[in-house]
Amino acid sequence: MQPTHEMFDITIIGGGPVGLFTAFYAGLRQAKVKIIESLELLGGQPAHLYPEKIIYDIPAYPAITGEVLTSQLITQLERFYTSFCLGEEALELERCMDDQGKPYFVLTTTKGQHYSRTVIIAAGNGAFRPRKLNLEQAESYEANNLHYYVNNLKQFENQRVAVCGGGDSAVDWALTLEPIAKKVYLIHRRDEFRALEHSVQRLRQSQVEILTPYVPSKLIGQDNHLQAIEITKARTDESQLLELDHFIVNYGFTSTIGQLKNWGLNLHRNAIQVDSHYQTNIPGVFAVGDIADYDGKVKIIATGFGEAPLAVNHALHHIAPDKAVPHLHSTSLFEDSSH
């Protein structure tokens, strides 16, 4: 059967750093590329979980934030047209043949179907979602000033901010916000924090008001805008009211490979086993980044960046086995190499 929908050479599942660089290299190879990302924004975990935190193991960058890294990768990718499908989670994969006997895939997501000659999975640890606050009306405030991750620090300038959580992320956000916000509270259900000792020491020396052992017990607001929270001391009826402008809940995130586990892929501890070409046991389906597993794998972003070109080259070889892989030097590809 000849597919009637738009066909892509490579469809990349995952719009994190490795997925973005995979798309860029595919653009260098003049492939027709699509990215499918489960979140509404690109950048993956570095952009959503720690946009303002420093990453130290990106080549040529002694230090770079998750937000800047994402911005740079997107700017790099803008040289080439890439189709983006955001807010879509991959559900099913079907391998088909066209009238010329050439294989292709029909990829079904939460929003529709996509057609591609090959698929490269760059989904990191899988689709991830925040552990949400289990209180009445919490969902109604999420579009305004109840946050599960932070993308823009400016919105907290001279504001009263409460952070809830006891791990590294919660402590780091409280410390980051202290010089920006008018007032910062850190609420945790235990007296002891799980964060690094150095961070906890800085916290106790800061102006952040530590409220332990307390848990949020009630949300108070109007017109879907949160105005105050009630917090209750653990194992007591003692409570107090905090008026605030923003509430950041940092209970961590859950990640799952979702329906990918039903695709017939060889899995090892929720990672996809690949060969030396980064191809899975399904011909035409490749995996790179943290979700790819092989002996000696080092799970850092730089490893995924190195895997991407090889996976792209072998994906294109899968499409056209008789076509030689060119030796690419990026400096010779653009007339103006200064951009």
Look at residue 257 in the predicted model and tell me its pLDDT.
Answer: 82
Look at residue 212 in the predicted model and tell me its pLDDT.
Answer: 97
Look at residue 196 in the predicted model and tell me its pLDDT.
Answer: 81
State whether residue 9 is helix, strand or coil: strand
- Is the peptide bond prior to 326 cis by the omega test (within 30 degrees of 0)? no
235 burial via Cβ count (<10 Å: 0-12, 13-18, 19+): exposed
Tell me the backbone φ, ψ of residue 26, rounded to 5 degrees: -60, -35
Look at residue 324 in the predicted model and tell me its pLDDT.
Answer: 73
Look at residue 310 in the predicted model and tell me its pLDDT.
Answer: 96
8 Å CB contact between 170 and 184: no
Within 10 angstroms of residue 234's Cβ, the number of other Cβ atoms is 13
By C-alpha distance, which of 13, 270, 263 is closest to 118? 13
Residue type, 92: E
Look at residue 50 in the predicted model and tell me its pLDDT.
Answer: 65
pLDDT along the chain (339 residues), means of 10: 80 96 96 92 78 82 90 95 93 94 95 97 82 91 88 90 92 92 97 89 96 96 96 94 96 81 92 97 97 94 96 96 75 59
Give the strands of the sheet with 271-273, arranged side by side: 267-268, 271-273, 292-293
